[in-house]
Chain A
Amino acid sequence: MRESIKDKVAIVGMGCTQFGERWDADVEDLIKEASLEALEDARVEIKDIQAGWVGTGRGSQLVATGPTSAIIASSALQTQNIPFTRVENLCASGQEAIRAAAFGVASKCYDLVLAIGVEKLKDTGFGGLGEQYPGKWEPLYGAFGTPPGRFAMAATAYFAKYGLSQEEGKRVLAEISVKSHYYGARNPKSHLKREITVEDAVNAPMIAWPLGLYDCCGVTDGASAAVIVPAEEAKNYRHDYVTIKGFAIATGTGWGKENEGYDFTYSAETEAGARMAYAEAGIKDPRKELDMVELHDCFSIAELFNTESLFLCEHGKFREEFTEKRAYYHDGEMPVNISGGLKSFGHPIGASGGREIYEIYKQIQGKAEEPSRQIKNVQLGLAHNQGGHPGRFVPGIAIIGAP
């Protein structure tokens, strides 16, 4: 790395749509809704945007995403022939858009850019994401897996490695989901707003053994957006802006499932990305220095192993830290997913990366919509946005904080 991005660019406005089954909105409606909130927040107008990036995950595989070039964004906002680019990196596409936008500003080519993340999943006619590789892996290879099927392999492996019985393991995962639903119920923009109990989660219908219904995030529509400017100009827009402290995308080798060195109980890619991002941000002890973490909990087991892989706890010690020391609640030592996480927001692929950063941005500004969810004195937060599945991850990690 030639130079750290630390404090070079600032976020001065953010937007996030209502997440949910948005029967009322197509992909352009979602883009417009998030972008206008972000622009208004930054007190700028569409004509002020010099360049834009839009992250969306599903590409042309599902008709519901519509045209998949960045024209979905320029068309929705009627920007007039400015550079707009679509980026894609599986479920990390949202953070990729912000990363690309930040580099655009850091390169000194632009003064004000817009990063958008969006996904319209609920026009397909079925739950879940469908199968992703209709050409190659499926139907030829046969080991096609839905996301729950793939993440459940991590749960089986984690339980076996750390000696948790099926009941014990399910209970730890249930408590993660109970936490997410609790905070989601206190977040107006979340998709799922009903609190649940451990019993609800443990006894829920099986989706992919050992993961039940409440171990899986929702299938949701949504969008998020961020206005990014050079850090030295940020105060012209607002006093409570945030700056980027570190960025990492650790694109894995893709061969973990076939690699005898990988045991499915952690994310080697997240560990590598975390090391990069912590180095860039100058963080030595993340658990002490970070005030909050929004991590990619597409499944309860993902929250468990990503907490460990971000070095917020030792491998195999999650249960102790979480259920015994209660470290990961809003008033705990290391608040994790106090937004309600993907669990209660659902996971519109491209939208989640920006949505996580939106939460940290608002928390730093002291603007969590529900006071009960506000974490005290947030200065530094980490957003972890993960594409892929155990053995084949591409996680994005962004560290943002008060200047």
Chain B
Amino acid sequence: MAGIVSYGVYIPIYRLSGESLNQVWGGATKGEKAIANVDEDSLTMGVEAARDCLKGIEKTSVDAVYFASTTPPYKEKQSASIMAAALDLREDIITADFTDSLRSGTIALKMALDAVKAGSAKKVLVVASDCRIPPPNSDFEPLLGDGAAAFLIGGDGAAVEVEGSYYLTSEFLDVWRLEYDKITRTWEDRFIREEGYVPYFQRAVSNLLKSHNLSPKDFAKAALYAADARTHRDMARRLGLDAKTQVQDPLFGKVGNTGTAFAPMTLVGALEEAKPGDRILLANYGDGADAHVLRVTEEIEKLKDSKSLTRNLESKLMLDNYGKYIKFRELMEFEHTPIIEPRTALPELWRHRKLYYRFHGVKCKKCGRVQVPVPKFCIYCQAEAEFLEEVPLSDKKGTLVTFSMDERAWVADPPNVLAAVALEGGGRFFSQMTDRDVNSLKVGMPMELTFRRIRDALGVHNYFWKCRPARV
């Protein structure tokens, strides 16, 4: 039966505390929420979750990438294609963006399952990621967080079989953004709850259970979408689920409502604790609702080690203050600089796309040394380019050779940390360091690579790899 072969998750390292919101706006918000770094967006977070999902999986086996997000970086230009390159997947695959609905993730899931069942694809990668910006000083602001989840859907060896699904669509308007809106719009929450969320969500779940002759007590865990913690508790009660044992923690006050990624991330949380034979209820909401019966198989044992959600939750840095968040999301007009505007050269990006997106270096067949970026001759033995064999490097771990922290560089989040990283198996990457605690950097510390948005120029989002201190 078709199902989930592997899963992955990503929570950005930064957290914004409720306290820092209270300091600016007043109020009594507790807890914290996850905030994408200044060099992250839904695409880069999605790449992280996908890399986590594809650990130990042969990359050439992926036949399609479905990227679900309401915040794709481009309005015209597919994100899934960039993601496929960053993941170093084959080019003869299908890529698609599923967008505009908070349910895009579970809709993409259905499309993936159908493709696998129909035999048009053996493995489909479904990635859900969102980086939505709430209106400052709104009820939404403490709620929305950033994050991503990924599932590899396949036929054989599924760790989680999807026994059945039920989908409802609705033109109901509750949360939206117009074409040029940066922040979300919404209506009175009581109206949304009573006319939209509660009836559609309940209908989807009850119809699903009816058609499968199941009752709420048949589920070990339920991964449920809800706009906020109170609505979530209320829905669990309405569905007849035991709050203590059956409801997967939706991570309000820790991560926040991650939009398209919310239900998928909650499902990952449930799967990390799941045992073979467990039945899991997944239900999502937005432009209607959908609900799914999932059955955990013996294969889940092979995925047990990852515990990515737990690790991502523990590995965090607190944002110093709200001002930093404002800067990260460009929510104020800042001082104009007299410095020359950077420019992107698309031909340069295209010529070296295997470097910028796939992070391929070369290995010299004469002297065996690994080099990145790709030189015109071997930098060690000056062998001709024909002896330089392409090698993928993005999965390499490394150690910090030396670094500096530049307080005066024109970056949004100084200091700009420059780093030389020795990659395992050879090669040295001179790079910008991200997700760093500036007080704990040391020569020799373990590093890893991460796909990030470098700097926009001429209206182009530039993506490339950076290093970061190894998380966990």
Instruction: Name which of B64-72, B130-138, B148-156, B371-379 contacts chain A.
Output: B371-379
A83-B221 Cα distance, complex, nearest whole Å: 84
Known contacts: A142-B464, A258-B372, A258-B428. The answer to whether A208 contacts B405 by CB under 8 A is yes
Whether the Cβ atoms of A208 and B406 lie closer than 8 Å is: yes
Q: Could you say which residues of chain A place their CB within 8 Å of the CB of B380? A: 259, 261
Nearest Cβ on chain B to A23's Cβ, whole angstroms: 16
Say yes or no for A138: interface residue by CB 8 A criterion: yes
- Assess whether B77 is interfacial by the CB under 8 Å rule: no
- Is there an interface contact between A155 and B404, defined as CB atoms closer than 8 Å? yes
Q: Which residue of A lies closest to B340 (CB)?
A: A134
Is A62's CB under 8 angstroms from B340's CB? yes
Cβ of A311 under 8 Å from chain B = no
> Judging by beta carbons under 8 Å apart, are A150 and B345 in contact?
no
Question: Beta-carbon contacts of B333-365 to A below 8 Å, as 1s and 0s?
Answer: 000011111111100110000001000000000
429-466 of chain B: CB within 8 A of chain A: 429-432, 438, 443-444, 452, 454-457, 462, 464, 466
Tell me, in angstroms, the Cα distance from A62 to B403 when the chains sit together.
28
Cβ–Cβ contact B428 & A160, under 8 A: no
- Distance in Å from the Cβ of B467 to the closest Cβ of chain A? 9
Partner of A135, one of B343, B403, B418, B420: B343
Q: Are B428 and A209 in contact (CB under 8 A)?
A: no
Inter-subunit contact A257/B408 (CB<8 Å): no
Question: Within 8 Å CB of B22, what residues of A?
Answer: none
Interface-side segment among B48-56, B248-256, B282-290, B409-417: B409-417
Known: A130-B340, A257-B428, A258-B430. A145 touches B416 (CB 8 A): yes
Q: Is the CB of A152 within 8 A of B404?
A: yes
A278–B429 Cα distance when bound, in Å, is 35
* Nearest A-chain residue to B420, judged by Cβ: A257
Which residues 197-211 in A have Cβ within 8 Å of B in the complex?
205-211
Taking CB atoms and an 8 Å cut-off, the chain A residues in 154-175 that contact chain B are 154-157, 160
Instruction: Identify which of residues 23-59 in chain A touch chain B, using a CB-to-CB cut-off of 8 Å.
Output: none
Nearest CB of A to B167, in Å: 42
Q: A151: which B residues are within 8 A, CB to CB?
A: 404
Q: Is A322 an interface residue (CB 8 A)?
A: no
Interface mask (A131-146 → B, CB under 8 Å = 1, otherwise 0): 1001110111111111
Q: Which residues on the A side are within 8 Å of B401 (C-beta)?
A: 157, 263-264
Q: A264 and B402: CB pair below 8 A? A: yes
- List, in ascending order, chain A residues with CB within 8 A of B462's CB: 139-140, 142
CB within 8 A of A149: which of B371, B375, B416? B416
The reply on B407 being an interface residue by CB < 8 A is yes
Expressed in whole angstroms, the minimum distance between the Cβ of A216 and any Cβ of chain B is 9
Q: Please state if A156 and B408 are interface contacts (CB–CB under 8 Å).
A: no
B-chain residues with CB within 8 Å of residue A250 when the two chains form the complex: none
A30–B454 alpha-carbon span in the complex (Å): 39
Q: Are B428 and A259 in contact (CB under 8 A)?
A: yes
Inter-chain CA distance A150–B408, complex, in Å, is: 12
Residue ID in chain B nearest A138 by CB atoms: B342
A260 to B422, Cβ gap below 8 A? Answer: yes
| Alpha-carbon distance between A4 and B275 when the two chains are bound, in angstroms | 81
List the B side residues contacting A125 at CB < 8 Å: 338
**A107 contacts partner chain B, Cβ-Cβ < 8 Å:** no
Q: Which of B403, B410, B454 contacts A140 (CB 8 A)?
A: B454
**B349 and A260 within 8 A (CB):** no
Closest to A261 in B: B380
- Judged by a CB distance under 8 angstroms, whether A14 is at the interface is no
CA of A177 to CA of B410, assembled, Å = 26
A388 at the interface (CB under 8 A from B): no
Q: Which of B337, B408, B415, B416 has the most CB of A within 10 A?
A: B408
A333 to B343 alpha-carbon distance, docked (Å): 50
How distant is the Cα of A257 from the Cα of B341 in the complex, in angstroms? 26
The answer to whether A257 and B430 touch across the interface, beta carbons within 8 angstroms, is yes
A121 interface residue (CB < 8 Å to B): no
Tell me which of A134, A138, A152, A258 contacts B405 (CB under 8 A): A152
Q: Classify chain B's interface size.
A: 35 or more
B432 smallest CB distance to A (angstroms): 5
B426 at the A interface (CB under 8 A): yes
Q: Are A149 and B404 in contact (CB under 8 A)?
A: yes
A67 to B415 alpha-carbon distance, docked (Å): 34
CA distance A157 to B442 in the complex (A): 10
Chain A residue nearest to B356 (CB atoms) is: A140
Q: Which residues of B contact A208 (CB under 8 A)?
A: 404-409, 415
Q: How far, in angstroms, from A261 to B370 measured CA to CA in the complex?
A: 12
- Cβ of A210 to closest chain B Cβ, rounded Å: 8
Q: List the B side residues contacting A222 at CB < 8 Å.
A: none
Q: CA–CA, A261 to B407, complex, Å?
A: 28
Cross-chain contact B452 with A207 (CB below 8 angstroms): no
Check B452 against A209 for contact (C-beta < 8 Å): no
Interchain CA distance A261-B426 in the complex, whole Å:
11
- Whether A124 sits at the interface, judged by CB under 8 Å, is yes
Bound CA–CA A260/B464 (angstroms): 22
Instruction: Let me know if B369 is at the binding interface, CB within 8 A.
Output: yes
Docked-complex contact B464 and A148, CB < 8 angstroms: no
B357 → chain A, closest Cβ, in Å?
Answer: 11
Residues of chain A within 8 A of B410, CB atoms compared: 131
- In Å, the complex CA distance between A155 and B371 comes to 24
- Provide the bound-state CA to CA distance between A17 and B338, in Å: 27
Does A81 count as interface, using CB distance less than 8 angstroms?
A: no
Q: Are B379 and A140 touching (Cβ within 8 A)?
A: no
Are the C-beta atoms of B443 and A160 separated by less than 8 Å?
yes
Residues of A contacting B452 in the complex (Cβ-Cβ under 8 angstroms)? 142
B405 touches A140 (CB 8 A): no
Smallest CB gap from A133: residue in B: B342
Q: How far is the CB of A260 from chain B (nearest CB, A)?
A: 5
B404 touches A260 (CB 8 A): no
Which residue in chain B gives the minimum CB-CB distance to A211? Answer: B404
* Contact (Cβ within 8 A) B406 A152: yes
Name the one of B343, B371, B403, B428 contacting A134, with C-beta atoms under 8 angstroms.
B343
**With A130-B339, A255-B379, A260-B369: A153-B407 Cβ-Cβ less than 8 Å:** no
CA distance A151 to B410 in the complex (A): 17
Name the one of B338, B373, B408, B443 contacting A124, with C-beta atoms under 8 angstroms: B338
Q: Which residue of chain B has the shortest Cβ distance to A264 in the bound complex? A: B402
- Shortest Cβ gap from B56 to chain A (Å): 28
Q: What chain A residues lie within 8 Å of B407 (beta carbons)?
A: 205-209
Chain B residue with Cβ nearest A206: B407
A131 to B429, CA, bound (A): 20
Collect the chain B residues with CB atoms within 8 Å of residue A128's CB. Answer: 408
CB distance from A127 to the nearest CB of B (A): 8
* Alpha-carbon distance between A372 and B340 when the two chains are bound, in angstroms: 44
B431 touching A150, Cβ below 8 Å: no
Task: Given contact pairs A139-B344, A141-B464, A156-B402, enumerate 15 new A-B contacts (beta carbons under 8 Å).
Answer: A131-B410, A135-B343, A139-B455, A140-B345, A142-B455, A144-B409, A145-B406, A156-B403, A156-B404, A206-B407, A209-B404, A209-B415, A253-B379, A261-B380, A264-B402
**What are the 9 A-B residue pairs with the smallest beta carbon separation, nearest first?**
A152-B404, A149-B406, A125-B338, A139-B455, A157-B402, A209-B405, A142-B454, A257-B430, A208-B406
Chain A residues within CB distance 8 Å of chain B: 61-62, 124-128, 130-131, 134-136, 138-146, 148-157, 160, 205-211, 253, 255, 257-261, 263-264, 391
Q: List 8 A-B contacts (CB under 8 A).
A: A125-B338, A131-B340, A131-B342, A145-B406, A148-B408, A208-B415, A257-B430, A260-B422
